[in-house]
Structure 1
């Protein structure tokens, strides 16, 4: 499968690139500054996720586009998330029937907890994290209005940590996946496993899913 990974220089993006390459896929790493990409010896493209024309250019000829774009740093964290969703859709629409599948890495914030409320309603969520969660929530709301593209959002669990690849996880759609003692965790490599599994065996067209141990 030909896969373009936007935001390939981030923690999630690098794991997705590694996992996809290990399975024999043809991967293009799309980053804002290719000269700073210290990744694997693969094709690297300069790309701007906020520019629809640039999205269309890097998506041309791909079978899937993965957006692992972060929310930005400092004040206004999350400011990139919602406009990126709009630009991704606008760019892929330029390719019409040749548009690849879109898989966006989202946030756990809007997932429903065992208490029946969104995770972002937890008073323990820090303000900066809350801001990022809500931005991802707005992006998801927008994508749910899109009917002419094949898209999927993958929401990580509450805690996404460095760790080993086990190849195991449990999944759900809109509910936070937790252990009986209330933990919702997953390693970065296993999030990449779930994402590439979804690309290889599509099960969530036009919807969000999540995963955790």
Structure 2
């Protein structure tokens, strides 16, 4: 029914044992947007358990124009347990779209594309740029590296020239309509899920 509170109320009966439980949540209820398996858990305990389950891909998005899609990208990265999210360019970004999932996600900032690519190399990650430009391989037929960082550009202009030059692989998303491009947050979800379909152990999904 519309207007009913989300989540669960105070724990009924005797409290469960375990250091991962948050006494305040047990007493007052857990209204967070988390899966049932993490109800009443402390936030740091949730992050620790996610760290144990995270996948081998990272996500990066350029932030030179204060793109409002970054929050959506972070939220989707959390849903697919990306190992980390990298913001390239401006450090500040609109967190509203993340729906507080940024509290459970490792987020790193890189002031320039060059510094981001250098970090990717040090981590042993292939940089997979996502852009519908000549020379891109359709993601529908591409094989994505297991250890990689999926790099997305801004809404409209797409990846910068520096980002395309630093990518080890460029992939595109097949489109069939009249628009030149699709929403950056949607594109990120499509490509992350392509990685999931190819590499993830689906028995570990909730």
For the aligned pair, the TM-score class normalised by the smaller chain equals: 0.3 to 0.5
The structure richer in strand per residue is 1
Q: Provide the TM-score with structure 2 as the length reference.
A: 0.41
Q: Provide the TM-score with structure 1 as the length reference.
A: 0.40
Q: In terms of Rg, which structure is larger?
A: 2
